[in-house]
């Protein structure tokens, strides 16, 4: 894996500076539908200009380069200890180069040592499979959108949300309304129905690895995704919460089994600066292809 560190630095650079094509397409669609002369339109124009500038300057799309989440699919036998060591070095170097902000704070002392390394930072998820290919995906998730995530335990009396898909719909729309523009909309929802409090949020974030324009293979979840997207865009919250037609760019919903006593709906919000890329790697760690 002699090339691994260099590849991961490039993955971080690309993720921080270049919006994936699927997200850019959705943003351009949003820009077109906002009305001329409104502050919503002007917000979308600045967003579009920012995407181009970040790419051409190879600098962060957003200064909050966020939580660093690696998802690694690897063959049985890959040395995960070595992989993690290289990933940490790559993060340190990418921070020095300005692809990442000095963004990791000791929660007890309040100190920021400027390396982006510490307990839980960066965050790596390994998944083994029985083929030889290696794929590494990266999400950089900013704090503003992370803070508007929400987890609901059903039934919810106040929202009259029961333990069924209609109850899920009610709480997800409540999360959209609560977020208003604070998560840097127009955003994307990743939702997990079920799981426990930890796995629910964890699975909700994995939904961001899906292509924005794919369709859910489960017809019931597909219907719910389309419904939430359409209804949210009728709320008039708009870009940045300025009012307007584009409140969400996409909705992705998955499900995990639950124990009979629990029924959680976990909603993660991703800002328009949707930073996610991925690459396949050769056995020496060299990038052999891009995934988005």
Partner 1 sequence: MTHNLSSPISEEAIRELKVGDQVLISGVVFTGRDAVHKYLHDGGELPDGVNLDGGILYHCGPVVLKDDNGEWKVTAAGPTTSIREEPYQGDIIKKFGVRGVIGKGGMGAKTLSACGENGSVYLHAIGGAAQVLAERITKVRNVYFLEEFGSPEAIWELEVDKFPAVVTMDSHGRSLHDEVAEASQAVLERNL
User: How near is the Cβ of 133 to partner 1 at its closest, in Å?
Assistant: 33
DSSP string, 67-125: EEEEEEEEETT--HHHHHHHHHHHHHHHHHTTSS-S----TTT----SS--BTTBSEEE
The residues with which 270 forms a beta bridge, in sequence order, are 188
If you search the block for the tokens 């523009």, which residue do you land on? 181
Binding track, positions 25-44, relative to partner 1; x by CB under 8 A: --------------x--xx-
Which 211-240 residues touch partner 1, going by CB under 8 A? 231, 234-238, 240
Binding track, positions 97-136, relative to partner 1; x by CB under 8 A: -x--xxx-x----xxx-x----------------------
* C-beta closer to partner 1: residue 29 or 105: 105
Say how far apart CA 244 and CA 220 lie, in whole Å: 28
- DSSP label at residue 208: G
User: How near is the Cβ of 292 to partner 1 at its closest, in Å?
Assistant: 19
* C-beta closer to partner 1: residue 196 or 243: 243
Say how far apart CA 157 and CA 173 lie, in whole Å: 15
- Choose which of 9, 11, 26, 47 interacts with partner 1 (CB under 8 A): 47
Say how far apart CA 104 and CA 249 lie, in whole Å: 29
Stretch that binds partner 1, among 5-13, 60-68, 124-132, 262-270 (CB under 8 A): 60-68
* C-beta closer to partner 1: residue 134 or 270: 270
140 binds partner 1 (CB under 8 A): no
Say how far apart CA 191 and CA 170 lie, in whole Å: 13
Question: Which among 277, 283, 203 is positioned nearest to 11, based on CA atoms?
Answer: 277
CB atoms under 10 Å from CB of 190, counted, come to: 27
Element (H, E) at 220: helix 219-234
- DSSP label at residue 163: S
- Choose which of 242, 255, 262, 288 interacts with partner 1 (CB under 8 A): 242
Say how far apart CA 168 and CA 178 lie, in whole Å: 15
Binding track, positions 146-185, relative to partner 1; x by CB under 8 A: -x----------------------x--xx--x--xxx-x-
Q: Which residues bind partner 1 (CB under 8 A)?
A: 39, 42-43, 46-47, 49-50, 53-54, 57, 59-65, 98, 101-103, 105, 110-112, 114, 142-144, 147, 170, 173-174, 177, 180-182, 184, 231, 234-238, 240-243, 271-273
């Amino acid at each position: 894996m002699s090339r691994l560190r260099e590849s991961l630095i490039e993955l971080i650079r690309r993720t921080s500076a270049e919006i994936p094509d699927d997200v850019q397409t959705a943003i351009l669609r949003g820009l077109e539908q906002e009305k001329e002369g409104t502050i919503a339109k002007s917000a979308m124009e600045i967003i579009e200009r920012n995407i181009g500038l970040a790419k051409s300057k190879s600098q962060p799309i957003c200064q909050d380069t966020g939580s660093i989440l690696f998802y690694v699919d690897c063959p049985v036998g890959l040395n995960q200890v070595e992989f993690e060591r290289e990933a940490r070095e790559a993060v340190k170097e990418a921070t020095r180069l300005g692809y990442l902000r000095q963004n990791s704070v000791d929660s007890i002392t309040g100190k920021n040592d400027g390396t982006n390394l510490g307990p839980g930072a960066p965050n790596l998820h390994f998944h083994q499979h029985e083929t030889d290919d290696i794929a590494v995906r990266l999400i950089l998730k900013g704090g503003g959108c992370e803070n508007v995530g929400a987890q609901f335990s059903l039934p919810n009396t106040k929202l009259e949300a029961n333990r069924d898909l209609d109850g899920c719909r009610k709480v997800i729309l409540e999360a959209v309304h609560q977020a208003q523009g604070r998560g840097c909309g127009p955003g994307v929802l990743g939702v997990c129905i079920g799981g426990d409090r930890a796995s629910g949020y964890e699975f909700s974030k994995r939904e961001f690895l899906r292509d924005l324009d794919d369709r859910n293979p489960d017809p019931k979840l597909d219907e719910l995704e389309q419904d939430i997207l359409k209804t949210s865009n009728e709320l008039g919250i708009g870009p940045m919460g300025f009012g307007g037609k584009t409140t969400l760019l996409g909705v992705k919903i998955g499900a995990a089994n639950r124990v009979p006593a629990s029924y959680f709906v976990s909603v993660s919000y991703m800002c328009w600066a949707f930073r996610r890329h991925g690459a396949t790697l050769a056995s020496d760690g060299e990038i052999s292809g891009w995934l988005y």
